C-alpha cells in the first residue's frame, strides 16, 4: 500500500532513523509531489516538502487551508514556511512531540537565512527547540560574541549549525570558540571564483578549528537532520540519566 | 610562558573546547615539533602529534622510552601508534580520564585503516571507548550487517565514523540504516578521475541519506574530535540525567 | 539521396551497428529535426528523436496522428514518450522486431525516471524487453532486494542499467550483488558540490564493485544502446546455440 | 575462517559475481597482501594481485617458484605478468576453466599496453580467450582497419576493450564501426591540460558513437571484469542455445 | 576622431594585422554597438558584428536595407548571416577584395554549423574562398573520406578548420590524414561531464596527431582569423613567387 | 651589456618600478642563476634569489662569504635567509636605504612562516621596516587581538600582509578589524579538497570583509612588493607633506 | 536600535574601517534592502546599494527624488549610477568629504565598464578623485601608453585599478610599467574555457609583473575599497607630512 | 616489415603529413624506444626522440657517436639537443633538406627555453630556418619591441611561436602587434592557482587578440609541427609562384 508506480517513499524512516523523510520538490512534478505527500499523510499524519516551486506552492495553498479545521478532524492543513520555501502538510495525529533537543542556528549574512530556515524547520519537526542569531559574519566580528554567549549560556544548546556563504569563515571561528559540536552549512551565496558556495564549502572542509563537520551547499535539510539527531540523543540521555 | 617565537600553541584548548590540540607534524620541522610538544607537556602533561614523518619518529623513539619509568615520575614516555603514524608523549598527570563516550568506527577497505586509526586515537584521548569494524564496503554488502548490529546493539555507540575512499558509498548506506549521527571520513584511496579521495568526498556530500556530515579527506583528527564531542556530550547528559 | 545540406544522417547505422541513430533534438532547429526525420522515415520507416523541446513537440503533435491510419498505410504516426520527452515517428514497415534481449532498468529515485525512460525507449526500439524498478536507492536499502530478485530470477535479464543522481551509490551496490553486467547511468539530479550529476558520475567511476561501466550524465540513449547491444548479442547466441 | 583482523576478503565473489576479487596491492602493505592472498589460496586455490610494487614483487619471487612443482602438489606457484605488473598465485585446483568467451583488446599507443595487459589478465582468469591489437590510434587511421577486421571476422570477439590515453578518440572511432559492445579504457598517458587520462576519459564520455561505456582511468581490472561478464554471458547462451 | 567615450575601437587593425576587428555584440549595449559600428563605417566602409542578440538584429534590420541603394552610394546596407547570427554593415568602398586564400571548413555535426558559419564569414571578409563539408563526424567515419578528398584535391585548400563538439575527435582524425595545417574549433555542443565544449577542447589539446592547433570553445572568429592569415600568406607567396 | 643569451634580466626595474627584480631560482639551472645574478651585481650591487634549491645554496655558500670583507671592498657577500630559502648577494654600494615604509606581517600558523619570510625579505630590500606576529589563526581567536593592537598602535604599520593556508579565514577576520589595506597571502598548507592553498585562496577571494586584495598561493615575493609599494608611497607622502 | 530581525548592518564600519558598508542587493529581497538602507540613512545619512535588480531600481525611483529637495532638508534623494547599476541614497549630512586620494581606473574593453563603474563609485564615496581610461587592452597595445602617461604624470594617481576580462593580460602589462600599486579587477567577460572571468583571474594571479594584487571576479566594490584605502592613506600622509 | 609487436610506428607519416613522427620517450621503456628508432632509421634514415629520460640518454650516448663516421657511411650518429632533452639519430641519407620555411620563436622567460627548444628542433627537422628571441615577457615590455622588429623585418618569418608560462600574456601581446599567424605554446612554468601552465593556456585561449591558436602545455613538438607546416606551405608557394 505504501508503493507508488514512480516512487517508493521511505514512510517508516522516522521510526528507523529518528528523522522524517523530506520530499525534495524541486526535481519532481506537482503531481508526483502530491501523490507522495498523500502516502505520508495517510500513514504518518504529516508530509514535509522542501524547495517548493511557486507552481506547487500555489497548488498547495489552493487545496489546503492554513489551519486545522475544528469541525473536520480529518482535514489536512498547510503550514507554509515562507523563508525556507518549505511546506508541512499535517492532520490530527501528525503533531510534533517535543524531544527536549536544543539546537542553535547562526547565519553569517542576511542572504543565508533561507537555507538556515530549512534547517530550522527540520529540527523543529524532529521535536527540537531552535535558537537563532542572524547576520553575525566575520566582516564585523564584534557582532558575534553576544549572540554566541546567549546560545551557550542562556539557551544551552547541544549543537550549533552555522550557515555561511562567500568565504565561509564563520563556522571555523565559532568552532574555535565553543565546546559543542558545530555543523557547517555552506550556502550558495557568493559569485566569481569560488562562488555558488564552493568557497564556503572549501573553507569549512579546510578548517583549522576542531569540532566542525559539514554538509553540502544549501543542504539545510541535511544539516537539520544531523543537528536534530545529535540534540535528540543528548536529550534522551538527559531524560534517562543514570548513564554509565 | 606558553609562547614560542614561531608558534603560539593553543595550550588550553582542552579546557575551552573539550578536545586537545593535535600538533600536525607533516609541515613543521623536527625542532618546531619538539619545542611545541614540550610546551604541552609542561602545562598539560601530554602532547599529541599526527602525521609524524619517519625522521621525527626516529627522534622521538631515541629521546623517549616506550613506557613510564617507575623510578622517575617526571620522565615523559612515548606511545607510538604505528597504524596512524601518530605519537602521544605523556608524563604522570597526563593520563586520559574515561568520559563514558562510545564511538563506532567502520572502514570500507583495508587501505582506509590508517586514517581511521588517527580518528580512533583522538577519540580515545578524549576519553571515549572506541569500537571498530574493518573492510565492510559495498562491493560485498553482506559483510556489513553483522558488524553494524554489533556496534548498535552490543557496543551501543552514540555516533559512528565511517571511513571510505574510492566511491565513498558506505557512509550513505550506513546512514540509511542507523539512528545515530554518522560522520563521513573520506580517505585518499582511489586513482583516476575522482581519485585521491575526491570521489569519496563528493559522494558523501551528495548523500541521499539523512544524518551524515563530513570532514575533509584524510582528516582523521577532525572526524575524531567531532565524534568525541558528540559522544562525550551524550555521556555527560547520561551522567547528569534529570534532563528537562 | 540520403544527404542534406546541413546534415549527413547515418541512415544505415542500424545495419552496421545493430542500433538506430537517434536525432538529438535539443541543439537543432525544428526545421532541421523534421528534415532529418523525413530522411529516416523514407529509408527506414522510423525516426527517433530525443530531448524534444516543447516547440518541436507541438509541431510533431500537429503534423502527425498518434496512431496508424488504417486507411492510409503510408501515413506516418507519432509515438510520444512523455517521461523521456522523446518521439518515435513510424510508418508501416518501421515496426520493431522482438530480439529476445532482456534488459533491467533500476532508478535510485523518482527524479531519475526521465533519463531511465530514454534508455528504456532505445532498448525497446532495439527489440528488447525492458523490466523496471523505481526509487530503490541506498537511503533505504531494504527497498532494493525484492525488485532485484525479481529482475534476476523472474525476468532473467541479461544486463541491468542503474540510473542514479546525487551520491550515485546504487550502481556500486547493485554491481556488488549481481552476476550480470551493470551499466551505470548518472543523472543530473543533485545540487551543490558534485551537483548536476558530477558526484554520481565520479562515484560510479570510483566504484569498488566489479562489473560496472558507465556512460555520461543523463545519456539515456548511450546506456540504452550499450545495454541493447549486450542483451541482443546474448539473445542471438541463445537462438543460435551450439556455441564453441 | 575467512576473516582477518584488518581485511574481510570477498572470498566467494567468484561464485556470486562470476568474477574473482583482485587484491589491489598499491595501497596495502606487503604483509597485508600476503595474508589476504593466503586466504584466497586456501579457499579458492588462486589469488590475483594487481599494481604490485617492486618490493612485493621481490617478496613474491623469493617465496614462490615460477612453475608448479610436480613433486609437491600443494606447492603454490607464481605467474608473473611483467607488462601488467600483476601476479597470480596458484595451486593445483586453482586453474582456470575456459569459458568460451572471446574478448578483443585494442590499444591506441605503445604506452597504453600496461593497462591493457591488466584487463587481458583478468579476462583470461575469467576463462576468456583474448585477442589483441596494439598501437593503432587515430594519428594514422590506416593502421586500424585490418586489425579490426581480424578481431571481428576471424576472432569473432563478443566485446572489445579499447585502451587509449591522450585524446581518447580511438574508442569512439571503433564504436562507430563495429556491432559489438565497446568498453572504453582511458589510460593516464598524456600531459598538460587534460593529462593523466582526464582528456581521454572526457572524450569517451562525450562520445558521439553509440555502444560505448567506460571505466575509470587505468582501471584495467574493471574493464576486464566488465568484458569478461559480457563475453561469458554470450558464451553461456551459445552453449545452452534454444533461447526464447 | 576615432575615439568614443566608452570604446577605443582598433580601426586600423586591418592594416596592421591583415584581419578586421569584429565587434563582439553579446556583452555590449545596442547603443554601444551602433556607435562603434559607425566609427568603422566612417573610416573603413565596413563594420562586422558577431553574436548579435535578437534586439540588436531587429534594430539593424530596421535601420539598414538589405542591399546597396543604387541611388544613394552613401547608403549603408546590412548583410545578415542567419547561421552565424552575425552582421556586416557595408557601404560603397567597403567591399572585400579577393585574396586568393583558400580555406576548408568541416563540421562534425549539424549542431556545429553556427560556430563554423562565424569562422566562414570572417574568412570571406578577409578575401578568402571558403569550402565546407558538414556533419561528417567519427560516429560514421565513412562519411568523411570523400569530402576530405574534395577539399584537398579539388578545392586545394591551404588550411582546414574542423569544428566539433562532444568528443572533439574529428580534428585529430583529420589532422592525421592531411598535409595542411588544421585549426581545431571546439563547439559548446555536448552535455554532462565535459559538456559545453570542454570535452572537445580537451580532446583537441591532447591530440596525438601532429599539425593541429586550437582556439577557444565557440571562437569562430578566432579560428577564422587564424585560417585567413595562413591562407592569405600562402596566397601572397603564390602571387609573388620567386621565393628564396 | 645587460643581455645574456638565455635571459634578459630587467636590471633597471628598480628605477622604473620602485621594486627590485627577484630571480626565481626554482626553474632555472645553477649556471643560469649565477650568470643572471652577476649581471645584477655588476650594475646594481645586489642580486636577490628566491626559492633557492639546495644545490644552488651549496654553490652560493661555497663561492661567497657570509659577511663583507673589510679588506676587499669589491668582494660580494651572501646574506642567506634560511626561513625563506632566499639569498641576497650584495657588494658595497648595494646596501638598502631605509624608506620609512612600515609593513606588518601576520601568519595564521607556524607552517606559513617560510612564505611570510619571503615577503618580509622583499619588503626589507625595498627599505621598509617589517613587524611580525606568528601563529595567531582563527582556531584560537583570542591569540589575535593583542598582536594586532601592537601592529596598529605601536608599530603604526601602513599595510598588513596576512599569510594563511587551510581555511584562509584569518585575512578576512583581520580586514574586518583594521583600517589599513590588507594583502592576503595564501600558502600551500593544507591537504584534501581545497588543499595546496586552493581553499585559502578561494576563501580570501570570497571575503566578505572590505579592504583585502590577494596574490597567488605561496607568492611571498608578490605580496612583499605590493606591500612595499604601498608602504613606501605612504612614507614618501609623509616625508614630502604639504599634500593637496 | 541599529539591529533588524534579519540583518545586523555594520553601521559604523565607516568609522572603524575608513570604508562604508555597501548593501549587496542581488541576493536580498526588496524589503530587506529598503529596511537596511533606512538604518544607514538614519545613522549615517547615506546608504549605498550595489547590484540593484530592476525591481528594486523601480522601487527606489518611485520612492525617492533624483535631487535634494531644497524645501525639505530631511528628504532623502537617490543618486542612480546607471553604468554600475548602483544607488546612493543620501540626505543632508550624508555628503562625501574629499579625502585628497587619487585613483586611476583602466578598462581593457567596453564590456568591462560596469564593473569598473562600481569600483569608481566606491572610491568617490570614500572621498577620492577618480580618473578613467577605457578600452585600452592588449589587442592594440598602442592605445595604452598615452592614457597611462596621463594618469601618472597629469592626474598623479596613487593607485591604479585595472579591470579586464578574457585573457586578463592588461593588469600585468600595466604593473610592468608603473611604480604605483596596481589592483587587478577581473571581470566576467569571456566565454568557453576560462570564461566568466576565470581566465582573467588566473592570468592576474600568475602575473610575472610585481606590484599587482587582485580581488575576485566582478568585485568592483572590493577593488574600490582597497584602492580607496591606499589612496586615502597616502593622502593623509601628504596632509600630515613631517613623516619619520 | 614496419611492424613491431608492441608498436606500429607511422613510418611514412613524413610523406603523408609533411612532418616526421617523433618518438615520445617519456612513457616508453628504453628497449621500446630503441626498437622503434631502429625501424625509422632503417626506412627513413632518421629517428627523432623527445622527452628523453636520463637513462635513455646514457644508453644513446653509449651506443652512438656524436658525429658521422667518415669511414663507415652506414654508421648512425647521435645529435643530442641538451636544451630540449631531445635526440636525433641519423645516418647518411637522413639529412634534412632546407624547405625555405622561416619560423620565429619567442620565449617570455628563461624557464620557457626547454619547451621552445623542442619546437625549434622539430621545425629544423622539417627544413625550416628558426629565429629566436628569449626572455622578453610582459613584466618589462620594453624588451619586446626590438626583437620583434628583427623577426619581422630582418628574418621575415612566416609564423611565430610564442612560448610562455605563468600569466601567458605574451602571445596575446605579440598577436596584437604582428600580421603573421601566431602559435601560442603554454609552458608548465608557474605555481599556485593556475600553475603548471594552466594559467598560461587559459589566458591564450581567452586571448582578445586575433590570429592566435594554441597547442597543449609543454607541447613543443605540436607547436613545431604546426609552425613548420605553415612556413613550409608558404615557402612552397613562394617557390612555385604564379598563384591564382
**How close is the nearest chain F Cα to the Cα of B159, in Å?**
23
Cell of F127: 627599505
Cell of G156: 598623479
What's the Cα-to-Cα distance from A123 to each of A105, A151, A223, C233, E131, rounded to whole Å? 10, 16, 9, 53, 66
C133 is in which domain, residue-wise?
A: 102-239
**How close is the nearest chain B Cα to the Cα of F169, in Å?**
16
Helix H or strand E segment including D216: none
Domain boundary among D91, D122, D146: D91
A242 band by pLDDT with thresholds 50, 70 and 90: low
The pLDDT tens digits for F54-85 are 999 999 999 999 999 888 878 999 999 999 99
Q: Is G18 on the interface with F (CB under 8 A)?
A: yes
| pLDDT for position E12 | 65
| pLDDT for position A30 | 96
Mean pLDDT is lowest, of F185-189, G117-121, H65-69, H115-119, for H65-69
Say yes or no: C79 and C110 in one domain. Answer: no
Q: Is residue H96 part of a domain?
A: no
Say yes or no: G106 and G212 in one domain. Answer: yes
For range D197-203, the mean pLDDT: 97
Cell of E229: 592569415
For range A94-116, the mean pLDDT: 96
| pLDDT for position C154 | 94
Say yes or no: G138 and G72 in one domain. Answer: no
Q: Which of B109, B137, B167 lies nearest to residue C203, judging by beta carbons? A: B167
Say yes or no: C77 and C136 in one domain. Answer: no
Cell of A166: 562567500
Say yes or no: G85 and G163 in one domain. Answer: no
Chain G residues touching E28 at Cβ < 8 A: 110-111
Say yes or no: A72 and A147 in one domain. Answer: no
Q: Which of G230, G238, G241 lies nearest to residue F230, judging by beta carbons? A: G230
| pLDDT for position F165 | 97
Q: Is F195 on the interface with A (CB under 8 A)?
A: yes
| pLDDT for position F2 | 46
Q: Is residue E4 part of a domain?
A: no
Q: Is C212 on the interface with D (CB under 8 A)?
A: yes
The pLDDT tens digits for A204-235 are 999 999 899 999 999 999 999 999 999 999 99
Helix H or strand E segment including G81: strand G77-81
- The answer to whether the CB atoms of D27 and B136 lie below 8 A apart is no
Contact in structure between C40 and C10 (CB atoms under 8 Å): no
Q: Is residue E6 part of a domain?
A: no
pLDDT of E105 higher than 90: yes
The pLDDT tens digits for E62-72 are 999 999 988 88
pLDDT of F244 higher than 50: no
Q: Which of E208, B168, F143, H73 is nearest to D112 (CA)?
A: E208
Q: Is residue A234 part of a domain?
A: yes
Say yes or no: E129 and E227 in one domain. Answer: yes
**What is the percent of chain A with per-residue pLDDT over 90, rounded to a whole number?**
81
- The answer to whether the CB atoms of A230 and B230 lie below 8 A apart is yes
Say yes or no: E84 and E113 in one domain. Answer: no
| pLDDT for position B119 | 98
Contact in structure between D217 and D196 (CB atoms under 8 Å): yes
Using CB atoms within 10 Å of the CB of residue E79, give its burial: 0 to 12 exposed, 13 to 18 middle, 19+ buried.
Answer: middle
Please identify which residue in the block is written with the cell numbers 644545490: F55
Q: Is residue G7 part of a domain?
A: no
| pLDDT for position F242 | 59
B128 Ramachandran zone, left/alpha/beta (phi>0; psi -120 to 50) = beta
Say yes or no: E69 and E127 in one domain. Answer: no
**How close is the nearest chain D Cα to the Cα of E108, in Å?**
10
Say yes or no: E116 and E223 in one domain. Answer: yes
E200 band by pLDDT with thresholds 50, 70 and 90: very high
C106 band by pLDDT with thresholds 50, 70 and 90: very high
Phi and psi (nearest 5°) for E226?
-60, -45
The pLDDT tens digits for G29-54 are 999 999 999 999 998 999 999 999 99
Round the average pLDDT of chain G to a whole number and report it: 93
Q: Report d(CA F194, CA C44) in Å as an integer.
A: 53
Say yes or no: H186 and H213 in one domain. Answer: yes
Chain H residues touching F216 at Cβ < 8 A: 191-194
Verdict on whether the full-model pTM lies above 0.90? yes
Q: Is E54 on the interface with C (CB under 8 A)?
A: no
pLDDT of G68 higher than 80: yes
**C81: which strand partners?**
C86
pLDDT of F169 higher than 70: yes
Q: Report d(CA A93, CA A42) in Å as an integer.
A: 10
Q: Report d(CA G50, CA G88) in Å as an integer.
A: 9
Q: Which of F9, F27, F198 lies nearest to residue H193, judging by beta carbons? A: F198
- The answer to whether the CB atoms of F141 and A192 lie below 8 A apart is no
What secondary structure does DSSP assign to B149-162, as a single string? HIIIIIS--SEEEE
Round the average pLDDT of chain C to a whole number and report it: 93
Give, as one character, the DSSP assignment of residue G147: H
Contact in structure between C119 and C163 (CB atoms under 8 Å): yes
The pLDDT tens digits for C164-175 are 999 999 999 999
Q: Is G195 on the interface with H (CB under 8 A)?
A: yes
- The answer to whether the CB atoms of F233 and G158 lie below 8 A apart is yes
- The answer to whether the CB atoms of H138 and G172 lie below 8 A apart is yes
**How close is the nearest chain D Cα to the Cα of H197, in Å?**
7
Please identify which residue in the block is written with the cell numbers 536507492: C137
- The answer to whether the CB atoms of A110 and G7 lie below 8 A apart is yes
| pLDDT for position G199 | 97
Q: Is C237 on the interface with D (CB under 8 A)?
A: yes
pLDDT of E177 higher than 80: yes
Contact in structure between B176 and C141 (CB atoms under 8 Å): yes
Q: Report d(CA H48, CA A102) in Å as an integer.
A: 72
For range C41-60, the mean pLDDT: 96
F5 band by pLDDT with thresholds 50, 70 and 90: confident
Say yes or no: A108 and A24 in one domain. Answer: no
Chain H residues touching F24 at Cβ < 8 A: 111
- The answer to whether the CB atoms of E167 and D199 lie below 8 A apart is no
**Helix E198-205, helix D198-205: angle, nearest 10:** 130
Q: Walk along chain H (244 residues) and give the pLDDT tens digit of each residue.
A: 345 677 777 776 777 778 999 999 998 999 999 999 999 999 899 999 999 999 999 999 999 999 998 888 789 999 999 999 999 999 998 999 999 999 999 999 999 999 999 999 999 999 999 999 999 888 888 889 999 999 999 999 999 999 999 999 999 999 999 999 999 999 999 999 999 999 999 999 999 998 999 999 999 999 999 999 999 999 999 998 754 4
Residue in C166, C188, C193 to test binding to A, most A beta-carbons within 10 Å: C193
Taking the CB of residue H46, how many other CB atoms lie within 10 A of it? 21
Tell me whether chains B and F touch (3+ CB pairs under 8 A): yes
Domain count, chain D: 2
| pLDDT for position A3 | 53
For range F86-90, the mean pLDDT: 98
Q: Which of G10, G32, G217 lies nearest to residue A140, judging by beta carbons? A: G10
Tell me whether chains H and C touch (3+ CB pairs under 8 A): no
Please give the torsion angle defined by the CA atoms of residues H177, H179, H185 and H190, in that order, rounded to the nearest 10 degrees: 0
The pLDDT tens digits for D202-222 are 999 999 998 999 999 999 999
Tell me whether chains G and B touch (3+ CB pairs under 8 A): no
Q: How many residues appear in chain B?
A: 244
What would the 3-class secondary structure string for chain H be? CCCCCCCCCCCCHHHHHCCCCEEEHHHCCHHHHHHHHHHHHHHHCEEEEECCCHHHHHHHHHHCCCCCCCCCCCCCEEEEECCCCEEEEECCCCCCCCCCCEEEEEECCHHHHHHHHHHHHHHHHCCCEEEEECCCCHHHHHHCHHHHHHHHHHCCCCEEEEEECCCCCHHHHHHCCCCCCEEEEECCCCCCCCCCCHHHHHHHHCCCCCCEEECCCCCHHHHHHHHHHHHHHHHHHHHHCCCC
Domain boundary among B31, B57, B91: B91
| pLDDT for position D152 | 94
Taking the CB of residue B156, how many other CB atoms lie within 10 A of it? 12
The pLDDT tens digits for C62-80 are 999 999 988 887 899 999 9
Q: Is residue C47 part of a domain?
A: yes
**How close is the nearest chain C Cα to the Cα of E111, in Å?**
6
Q: Report d(CA E193, CA E167) in Å as an integer.
A: 11
Q: Which of D177, D215, D234 lies nearest to residue C233, judging by beta carbons? A: D234
For range E29-55, the mean pLDDT: 95
Using CB atoms within 10 Å of the CB of residue C5, give its burial: 0 to 12 exposed, 13 to 18 middle, 19+ buried.
Answer: exposed
Q: Is residue B26 part of a domain?
A: yes
Give pLDDT < 50 ranges for chain B: 1-2, 243-244
Coil, helix or strand at residue A178: coil
Buried b (16+ CB within 10 A) or exposed e, F187-218: bbbbbbbbbbbbbbbbbbbbbbbbbbbbbbbb
Domain of C112, CATH number, reads 3.40.50.1970
The pLDDT tens digits for C137-195 are 888 888 899 999 999 999 999 999 999 999 999 999 999 999 999 999 999 999 999 99
Tell me whether chains A and G touch (3+ CB pairs under 8 A): yes
Q: Is residue F28 part of a domain?
A: yes
Domain boundary among B56, B91, B126: B91
Q: How far is CA A115 from the centre of its chain?
A: 8
Amino acid at each position: 500500500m505504501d508503493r507508488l508506480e514512480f516512487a517508493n517513499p521511505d514512510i517508516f524512516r522516522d521510526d528507523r532513523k529518528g528523522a522524517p523523510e523530506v520530499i525534495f520538490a524541486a526535481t519532481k512534478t506537482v503531481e508526483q509531489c502530491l501523490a507522495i505527500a498523500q502516502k505520508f499523510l495517510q500513514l504518518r499524519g504529516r508530509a514535509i516538502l522542501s524547495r517548493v516551486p511557486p507552481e506547487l506552492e500555489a497548488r498547495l495553498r489552493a487545496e489546503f487551508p492554513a489551519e486545522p479545521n475544528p469541525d473536520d478532524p480529518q482535514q489536512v492543513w498547510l503550514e507554509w514556511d515562507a523563508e525556507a520555501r518549505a511546506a508541512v502538510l499535517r492532520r490530527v495525529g501528525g503533531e510534533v512531540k517535543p524531544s527536549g533537543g536544543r539546537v542553535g542556528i547562526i547565519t553569517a549574512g542576511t542572504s543565508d537565512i533561507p537555507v538556515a530556515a530549512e534547517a530550522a524547520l527540520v529540527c523543529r519537526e524532529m521535536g527540537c527547540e531552535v535558537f537563532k542569531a542572524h547576520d553575525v559574519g566575520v566582516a564585523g566580528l564584534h557582532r558575534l560574541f553576544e549572540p554566541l554567549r546567549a546560545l551557550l549560556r542562556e539557551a544551552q544548546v547541544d549543537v550549533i549549525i552555522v550557515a555561511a556563504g562567500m568565504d565561509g569563515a564563520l563556522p571555523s571561528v565559532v568552532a574555535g570558540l565553543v565546546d559543542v559540536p558545530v555543523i557547517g552549512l555552506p550556502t550558495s551565496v557568493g559569485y566569481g571564483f569560488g562562488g555558488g558556495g564552493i568557497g564556503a564549502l572549501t573553507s569549512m572542509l579546510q578548517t583549522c578549528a576542531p569540532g566542525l563537520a559539514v554538509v553540502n551547499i544549501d543542504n539545510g535539510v541535511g544539516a537539520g537532520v544531523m543537528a536534530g539527531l545529535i540534540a535528540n540523543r543528548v536529550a534522551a540521555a538527559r531524560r534517562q540519566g543514570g548513564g554509565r
